[in-house]
Amino acid sequence: MSIPNAVYRENDDDLGVPVYVTDIDKESYRNKFKYHLFCPTENCKAKLVYVQTKPAQFRTWRLEDHLSGCDYEFVRQGIKAGRSAEEINVEMKDDQRRRVLKEALELARMSEQQIENLRAKRREWRINRSPKTDKDNKGPKINVVTVDGIDEGEIAGVTYRSRPVLKRDADVLKETDIGKHRCVTGYFERQVEDEGRIIVTIFRKKTQVKIMFEEAFRANSPNFVGLFHHIDKYLSKYNEAICIGIGEVRLSKDKTQYEVQIFQGEDFTIDGMNLLGLAAHNAHEKF
Ligand SMILES: [Zn+2]
């Protein structure tokens, strides 16, 4: 969730001054504000991160907790709600899919700087691991998975030997993704119902991707079909949400954009919640 302003505080005794995203750029963030931005709510000590999206925004620093009752506390609650809803669902997908969705969300919430740090770490890792002789080269090959150049394993702290689902931001899908399963991330734009299908349009950097919920989805996850209105309800309050779906990539009929076909309810999340989790979340919200 985007937070309208932050409080800049050098140390605990400092009363702090309010700052807005427009007061900060990449340079000053790195040299001055990083580690010193906090939630604007009185007495809330949650650290914030400056994210250079367009427009730039403040978000909760990863794993930081807000004061109970803080306006910006919901992000965590949302994740909890998603988790419990998933537990209810006995036919839950394997751990890998959930992990991929979760990691994609973490990535989406990272600042440019954090992503840059991950890249630097990967380069270091590659140099240290590069085989020196032919003999060294004969070991089992490790599949290094990159998302915009980031190794997926670095987020989870593991290296995979099997082939996981590749993550793609909506604006970096390419021809070679067609026909394959991908985990696609973007911001919610709108949803429409069209001849029994539900189409959720997401975007990133002006590139739109359509997330398609069709017959296969209805058949696999009938209990999710009636829940799409919860997205609009949620957006009416938070006006921005990160959508992530695992599905098959294809080109639209007019060949102008990519579509991702989702096959089951657990494979699509809004701010980390699948539709069941979102319905549970909305039930506890005041609108
Ligand atoms: Zn707070």
* pLDDT of 1: 63
C-alpha dist (Å) from residue 85 to 78, 175, 265, 278: 11, 35, 11, 9
Give the type of residue at 40. P
Distance 279 CA to ligand 1 centre (A): 24
Distance 111 CA to ligand 1 centre (A): 19
CA 240 to chain centre: 12
* pLDDT of 92: 29
* Average pLDDT for the chain: 79
Distance 68 CA to ligand 1 centre (A): 8
The token pair that represents 36 in the structure block: 């010193």
Q: At residue 14, does pLDDT exceed 80?
A: yes
Residue ranges per structural domain of the chain: 5-72, 76-283
Greatest mean pLDDT among 3-17, 90-104, 132-146, 160-174 lies in: 3-17
Give the type of residue at 272. G
Distance 60 CA to ligand 1 centre (A): 8
Other CB atoms within a 10 A radius of the CB of residue 142 amount to 11
Class assignment of domain 76-283?
A: mainly beta
Distance 9 CA to ligand 1 centre (A): 14
Distance 105 CA to ligand 1 centre (A): 20
Distance 115 CA to ligand 1 centre (A): 24
pTM to 2 decimal places: 0.56
| Residue 113 vs residue 191, higher pLDDT | 191
Q: What is the pLDDT of residues 81-138, one digit of tens each?
A: 333 222 222 222 467 778 889 889 988 988 888 888 888 887 887 777 655 544 444 4
Q: What is the pLDDT of residues 141-155, one digit of tens each?
A: 443 444 443 433 444
Q: What is the pLDDT of residues 245-268, one digit of tens each?
A: 998 899 998 999 999 999 889 899
Q: What is the pLDDT of residues 17-30, one digit of tens each?
A: 999 988 998 889 98
* pLDDT of 94: 62
Distance 59 CA to ligand 1 centre (A): 10
